[in-house]
Amino acid sequence: MELAIIGDTHVPSRASGIPDWVRERVEAADHTIHTGDFETPEALRTVRSLADGSLTAVRGNVDPASIDLPAVATVDRGGVTVVVTHGTGDRMGYEDRVASTVRDHAGPDAVGVAGHTHDPRDTVHDGVRLLNPGSATGASPATQTTMLTATVDDGDLDVALHRD
């Protein structure tokens, strides 16, 4: 199972659209995860269409109420439980907040996927693996366009960072 992990697209206020290379990876994936900050219902519809409906997404801190998504979502793929949240709040304590959300929703063996900082990462914090795809459009404060892909097989998760 191939996952495309994107977030912080910020269309249209900080970016005019999702770059072609990101679109292609989302279209090729079996499932897509988006960490929020779409900004408009149209941007959400675009991502949902690229993912051919196989999308797990959460609401970000700049998403309007018309983007009817949960603050936290949990999805199981290929024997891996993923807890998705935006990670809203100050950078100070970000990893603590996300790891706590993962533990509260699925336990310490789940993987946390969050955005908000526009800073890609794959790290372990307090025993919880945390992934952040950065910004799929390079929206400020990001300095480049980034996303993650993951291969999930029988409980194993192999993650790759892609940047432009």
- What is the rounded CA–CA span in Å between residue 134 and residue 141? 10
Question: What pLDDT is recorded for position 42?
Answer: 95
Question: What pLDDT is recorded for position 104?
Answer: 96
Mean of all residue pLDDT scores within the chain: 96
Question: What pLDDT is recorded for position 108?
Answer: 86
Helix (H) or strand (E) run with residue 41 in it: helix 41-50
Domain range for 12 is 2-163
Task: Report whether pLDDT(118) > 90.
Answer: yes
Mean pLDDT of 22-38: 98
Number of structural domains in the chain: 1
- CA 31 to chain CA mean position, Å: 12
Determine if the pTM surpasses 0.95.
yes
Instruction: Quick: pLDDT tens for 50-94.
Output: 999 999 999 999 999 999 999 999 999 999 999 999 999 998 999
Instruction: Quick: pLDDT tens for 146-159.
Output: 999 999 999 999 99
Tell me what percent of the residues of the chain surpass a pLDDT of 70.
100
Question: What pLDDT is recorded for position 26?
Answer: 98
- Which CATH number characterizes residue 27's domain? 3.60.21.10
Task: Report whether pLDDT(124) > 90.
Answer: yes
